[in-house]
Amino acid sequence: MAAGQAQRVIEIRPLATHSEFEAAVDLQRRIWGFDDIELLPVRLFVTALKVGGQALGAFDEGKMAGFCLAIPGIGGRGRIYLHSHMLGVLAEYRNAGVGRRLKLAQREDALAQGIDLIEWTFDPLELKNAWFNIERLGAVVRRFVPNQYGCTTSPLHAGLPTDRCVAEWRLDSARVKRILAGQPMERLRAAERIEVPAAIDALKREDPAQAREIQTRVREQFLQHLSNDLAATGFERTAEGGCYLLERGIRIERMTLREIRMPLAHFFETSFGRTTERRIILVEVISGGVSGWGEITCGENPFYNEEWTDAAWLIAKDYAAPRALGRDFESAAEVGRSFEGIRGHRMALGGIEAAAWDLEARIQGLPLAKHIGGERAEIPCGVSIGIQNSVPELLRKIEAELEAGYQRIKIKIKPGWDVEVVRQARREFPGVGLMADANSAYTLADAEHLKRLDEFGLMMIEQPLAHDDIIDHAALQERLTTPICLDECIRTAHHAEQAIAMRACGVINIKLGRVGGFREAKRVHDAARKHGIPVWCGGMLETGIGRAANIALSTLPNFVLPGDVSASKRYWKRDVIRPEVEVTAQGTIQVPDGPGLGYEVDRDHLKRLTAREITLDPPGLAGRVAG
């Protein structure tokens, strides 16, 4: 645009009159130089609007500067989407944001209609378009069509085949939202790269044979890499031209839920009650013959939070699985978004989401810890000791755990088993990192009683008040010198931000299941880190599958305190993974460097423990029940 034009306001609005449709036809001649036979006629614009499509124009004081046309389509499982067939902007208005505004108007209109996908095609040799579509809009390329329109009369095509990339624009995805908001995307390691030279336009005019060779190479690379389940999710501009960055997305083709029964090596008691056997739901998601594993970490009863094993089974089977199966996800981080219509039940949903992260890491050949952005090669470990039959028994257990090398001791407390118990533990072990966990056993009326714990130099008191409270914790923290650690009431990054703003805590416990999986766990971690609040990883009496996920989570940089991630043998006579999790004499766990969780699932042992099992296929295909 000229300097004077830059000051004008470009209006984006639907085309409404025949004269406007005719102006859009005329722009096709001026932009692409098509012969009349290849122009989209007025009747197509009229029809598109009648059947739920879009015809939008960009107007500069009544003069059309650009337009776009989209028609409705029916995708897999009958899902409605829009195919944006054409978008053009006059040369004098390019590089002024007109094309982007037309696309944003398309997005706004589609979302208002309940449509969350727009597709279009573009020439892979057009570097500006590639950058715009992928990096500025957030589209992803999973399909490639050789010579889609045949050879055209447009001089822009220079007689070459009309190869096309298919851009998928998932309008409400986290990727698109972040890119449109100008926020940087987490860039995974590119599995493959496809380079296109900047001189391709000149070569089309001056050396058509070389241009055709380049086009053939690009075509062959796209067809090969996309057939191997890669997707173009990034585009780099270089001095030599541009480069498509291809990564692996995921499609969950099948899911198996298993409920297993595992007796604890020793009973575990909290203020909720005593547990001697666990009923645990394990999730296996499968894609291309590769399995990813997750664990639904809720208890047998709705005492820690509102979730419990039987309810989680139904939520995972009847609500979460149908939303995740058979869909193409740009990354594991997107799987959790498919559950957004389901309120609560974060542990049920988080077990599936965690399995998807393991699957993606295995497909990419990466350790899960590295895949989520972890930085540590080993993690510090603490232990959680439940309420015992007597204080001497508790002291003996503390001594045994310290001899095993654990760096921090957490003891469970409740009314009647608190101040005097902690006093004796501190007297016996004066220099040990010691904390108390109340699991919501007190109220604000107990503030003076809880204040008596200040004299023992505890690292923290964990969730002393109600499971869903932040306000009273803020009032209590003001009266205590011991830091409060929040657990049950922190389910999202927003909760963490609220608690920190209210000074309700000095520490946050992050449990993978409680927050719904890795995506939200990372967001909670980042929110706490931003405010200088340390975090640590809590446990829920997990099998080795859930324990391995906790190890990976604990490698993120703000997990600076020893967590409740301990050796398998503390809880199980035999775990469901090989090798079992072990703790070093220094009280650390070495982070495995194999793909995914880094441990092998012991399928034979798992089969013996399984009480019920169901394999689920995408909607429309029958599932299979076993056990």
Strand partners, 381: 563
Catalytic residue of the set 204, 410, 412, 414: 412
Q: Name residue 238's amino acid.
A: T
Token reading at 16 = 């409404």
Look at residues 18, 68, 26 and name the one whose alpha carbon lies nearest to residue 46.
18
Instruction: Check if 412 is active-site.
Output: yes
Catalytic residue of the set 103, 204, 414, 511: 511
Please state the φ and ψ torsions of residue 12, each to the nearest 5 degrees: -105, 125
Look at residues 547, 582, 577, 586 and name the one whose alpha carbon lies nearest to residue 563.
547
CB 150 within 8 A of CB 156: no
Helices (H), 452-517: 471-479, 493-501
CB 352 within 8 A of CB 285: yes
Look at residues 368, 384, 385 and name the one whose alpha carbon lies nearest to residue 376.
368
Surface-to-core class of residue 402, CB atoms within 10 Å of its CB (0-12 exposed, 13-18 middle, 19+ buried): middle
Q: Name residue 483's amino acid.
A: P
Q: 461-462 and 434-437: which strand pairing?
A: parallel
Q: Calculate the CA 470 to chain-centre distance.
A: 26
Q: Calculate the CA 288 to chain-centre distance.
A: 20
For residues 431 and 436, give the distance between their C-alpha atoms in angstroms, rounded to a whole number: 15
Instruction: Check if 63 is active-site.
Output: no
Q: Calculate the CA 419 to chain-centre distance.
A: 42
Token reading at 464 = 């002393």
Q: 382-385 and 408-412: which strand pairing?
A: parallel
Specify the long-range contacts of residues 312-319, CB closer than 8 Å, at least 24 apart. 312/281, 312/345, 312/347, 312/348, 312/351, 313/257, 313/259, 313/281, 315/342, 315/345, 315/348, 315/349, 316/257, 316/281, 316/283, 316/348, 316/349, 316/351, 316/352, 317/257, 317/614, 317/616, 319/345
Strand partners, 84: 70
Look at residues 354, 321, 317 and name the one whose alpha carbon lies nearest to residue 625.
317
The answer to whether the bond into 579 is cis (omega within 30° of 0) is yes
Residue 52's region, left for phi above 0, alpha for psi from -120 to 50, else beta, is left
Strand partners, 345: none
Q: Cβ contacts of residue 153 below 8 Å, gap of 6+?
A: 33, 34, 35, 37, 38
For residues 486 and 445, give the distance between their C-alpha atoms in angstroms, rounded to a whole number: 18
For residues 529 and 277, give the distance between their C-alpha atoms in angstroms, rounded to a whole number: 36
Tell me which H or E stretch contains 245. strand 241-248
Q: Cβ contacts of residue 36 below 8 Å, gap of 6+?
A: none
For residues 40 and 128, give the distance between their C-alpha atoms in angstroms, rounded to a whole number: 24
Q: Give the residue numbers marked as catalytic.
A: 412, 511
